[in-house]
Amino acid sequence: NVLILDFGSQYTQLIARRVRELNIYSEIKPYNNPPKDLSQYKAVILSGSPFSVRSENAPHPDLSEIKGKKPLLGICYGAQYLSHFHGGNVAPSATREYGRANLSYVKDGEGFLDGLNEGSQVWMSHSDTIKQLPEGAVHLASTHDVENAAFKIEGEQTYGIQFHPEVYHTTDGKKLLENFLVNIAGLNQDWTPDAFIETTVAELKEKIGDEKVILGLSGGVDSSVAAMLLHKAIGEHLHCIFVNNGLLRKNEFESVLDQYKHMGLNVKGVDASARFLNALKGESDPEGKRKIIGRVFIEVFDDEAHKVENAKWLAQGTIYPDRIESVSASGGPSAVIKSHHNVGGLPDYMKLKIVEPLHLLFKDEVRRVGKNLDMDPTILGRHPFPGPGLGIRILGDITAEKVSILQEVDAIFIEGLKKWGLYDKVWQAGAMLLPVNSVGVMGDERTYEKCVALRAVESTDGMTADWVNLPYEFLQKTSNDIINKVKGVNRVVYDISSKPPATIEWE
Ligand code: XMP
């Protein structure tokens, strides 16, 4: 187990992520409230920080039980801290250094820089620099602008680096962390989804005790896996709420609710379709629709949550990328509530404590955890689906009739993908109902009916995406099925736009 002492750097979570990619478990603890018992930690990493070591209120933790006693790595502020308070000198640098740099002098410090060569790219983000190394330090590497980019303390397993090994742009960053954790600290690389499940369930038990938790299920992978972890930890004290906003896929409310019940979850299905459709009447602006759906969702969820007496916690299926997104979207680290961010955010007056068991995981890790929880592969493999659902796939205003047309079209498309073995090759797929009527001919009759667009994309995170080259035979059959079976549609088109410049959803 690795202890990461957090001094408030925006990259601290990434350190944990990289360490776990090495199959080594790590825990982040705030520097001002470190664990009392350090015996379980085999190595300690000090994070970066927005502070300068020279400022009055800079983090100044007591390392007397750590430094010289356990393998210790200081990153950026961490390295400056090891210098400044141990006989070195840290001063503002002449040039603030952000971004790319290359190692120019690399000396191997007992395997610490193994595999890192001259020229290896590293990522810098600091305005102070270490002018003079601390007592007993051995200089290990420089960059063009930074003399003391890496050092070790003689006779200790203490290392400091000015650059950030945890960011993607430090090419050999993961190798360096592996050198430190495996070669130097002697940690085993045996952290697995099973180990995550075990420790998370134990933590949840301890944190929540016998208090009640409310969780909004969406049918998606994240909220479902979060629910299963909590269920394992606190059983019936977990109260799940699954809201039908009337904008889900065909039969999804019933079938997913059924699946949840089979998983043993204490789940209440709330059919609020009419309430949503009513509120949406006449609204055709995409953002307007999103806002209405968000607001009504909160109202419905709030009503239901209040029926659970004495609930103390709100659980969310927030995963690591959501956090990055919501933090950057709001311009500061104060944004906390997120899972229903996709449809709004919860009101402050709910005053529930937040628990987010997946907040350190990435999507692929969530799926692996779900698999090890023996969850149904159909839930784990389900395509992403937007919170506002078909509401943003019906262009223009929304009516019950349009929803039902789009549900039929979508079902034919998705079932077809499954039948043809294409579903798992596609990252996300769906249909859009366009506000366009066009002329057609069926039998001997002129028709003047709706047009639908099919969309299937490949992506890893939804940030960029490309359309999928689906076989023509499949498109041909699907188009035929849709026009023959769905009353009100006489034309099908396939969307061949990438993101950017288009987006995945049309609204
Ligand atoms: P775009 O359309 O922005 O979509 O390329 C990227 C991914 O995000 C999903 N999406 C949403 N998800 N609430 C959500 O929960 C929303 O308002 C929303 N808008 C888009 C979209 O389905 C795709 O996976």
468 lines ligand 1 (CB under 6 A): no
Identify the pLDDT of residue 330.
Answer: 35
Residues 368 and 458 in one domain: no
Q: Please check if 273 is assigned to a binding site.
A: no
- Residues marked as catalytic: 76, 164, 166
Residues 149 and 250 in one domain: no
| 436-456 tens-digit pLDDT | 999 999 888 999 999 999 999
* Tokens at 286, concatenated: 């995409």
Identify the pLDDT of residue 348.
Answer: 59
SS3 state at 477: helix
325 lines ligand 1 (CB under 6 A): no
Identify the pLDDT of residue 161.
Answer: 97
- Which stretches of the chain score pLDDT less than 70? 96, 321, 323-350
384 lines ligand 1 (CB under 6 A): yes
User: Which atom, in ligand 1's list, is nearest to the CA of 463?
Assistant: 6
Q: Using CA positions, which residue lies closest to atom 21 of ligand 1?
A: 386
Domain presence at residue 500: no
| 393-432 tens-digit pLDDT | 999 999 999 999 999 999 999 999 999 999 999 999 999 9
Q: Using CA positions, which residue lies closest to atom 7 of ligand 1?
A: 462
Mention every residue, 6+ apart, whose C-beta is less than 8 A from residue 152: 109, 110, 112, 137, 138, 140, 158, 159, 160
Whole-angstrom CA distances from 376 to 240, 244, 283 are 18, 21, 37
Domain presence at residue 344: yes
Residues 173 and 208 in one domain: no
55 lines ligand 1 (CB under 6 A): no
441 Cα–ligand 1 center, Å: 35
What ipTM is given for this predicted complex?
Answer: 0.98
Identify the pLDDT of residue 319.
Answer: 87
Q: What angle do CA 336, 342, 345 make, to 5 degrees?
A: 45
Domain presence at residue 114: yes
CATH number at residue 231: 3.40.50.620
Domain presence at residue 392: no
Alpha-carbon gap, residue 64 to 45, rounded angstroms: 15
184 Cα–ligand 1 center, Å: 44
Instruction: Provide the domain limits for residue 475.
Output: 399-494
110 lines ligand 1 (CB under 6 A): no
Whole-angstrom CA distances from 454 to 41, 413, 462 are 52, 8, 17
Alpha-carbon gap, residue 174 to 448, rounded angstroms: 60
> In the 8-state DSSP scheme, what is residue 352?
P
Q: What angle do CA 188, 191, 196 make, to 5 degrees?
A: 155
CATH number at residue 145: 3.40.50.880
Residues 123 and 98 in one domain: yes
* Tokens at 74, concatenated: 């200081």
Q: Please check if 436 is assigned to a binding site.
A: no
Show which of 184, 206, 228 is a domain's final residue.
184
SS3 state at 266: coil
Domain presence at residue 284: yes
Residue whose tokens read 């019940």: 261
490 lines ligand 1 (CB under 6 A): no
Q: Please check if 90 is assigned to a binding site.
A: no
Domain presence at residue 435: yes
Residues 403 and 373 in one domain: no
Residues 36 and 90 in one domain: yes
Residues 354 and 478 in one domain: no
DSSP state string for 69-105: TB-EEEETHHHHHHHHTTT-EEEEEEEEEEEEEEEEE
Identify the pLDDT of residue 400.
Answer: 98
Domain presence at residue 476: yes
344 lines ligand 1 (CB under 6 A): no
Order of strands across the sheet with 150-153? 26-30, 2-6, 43-46, 72-75, 158-161, 150-153, 137-143, 89-106, 121-132
284 Cα–ligand 1 center, Å: 18
What's the length of the chain? 507
Q: Using CA positions, which residue lies closest to atom 3 of ligand 1?
A: 503
505 lines ligand 1 (CB under 6 A): yes
Residues 256 and 198 in one domain: yes
Identify the pLDDT of residue 190.
Answer: 87
Q: Using CA positions, which residue lies closest to atom 4 of ligand 1?
A: 504
Residues 199 and 177 in one domain: no
Q: Please check if 142 is assigned to a binding site.
A: no
Domain count, the chain: 3
386 Cα–ligand 1 center, Å: 5
455 Cα–ligand 1 center, Å: 13
Identify the pLDDT of residue 499.
Answer: 87
Residues 209 and 114 in one domain: no
Domain presence at residue 118: yes
Which residue from 47, 107, 109 is spatially nearest to 79, judged by alpha carbons? Answer: 47
Residues 167 and 271 in one domain: no
Residues 372 and 470 in one domain: no
Q: Please check if 326 is assigned to a binding site.
A: no
CATH number at residue 444: 3.30.300.10
Show which of 184, 201, 226 is a domain's final residue.
184
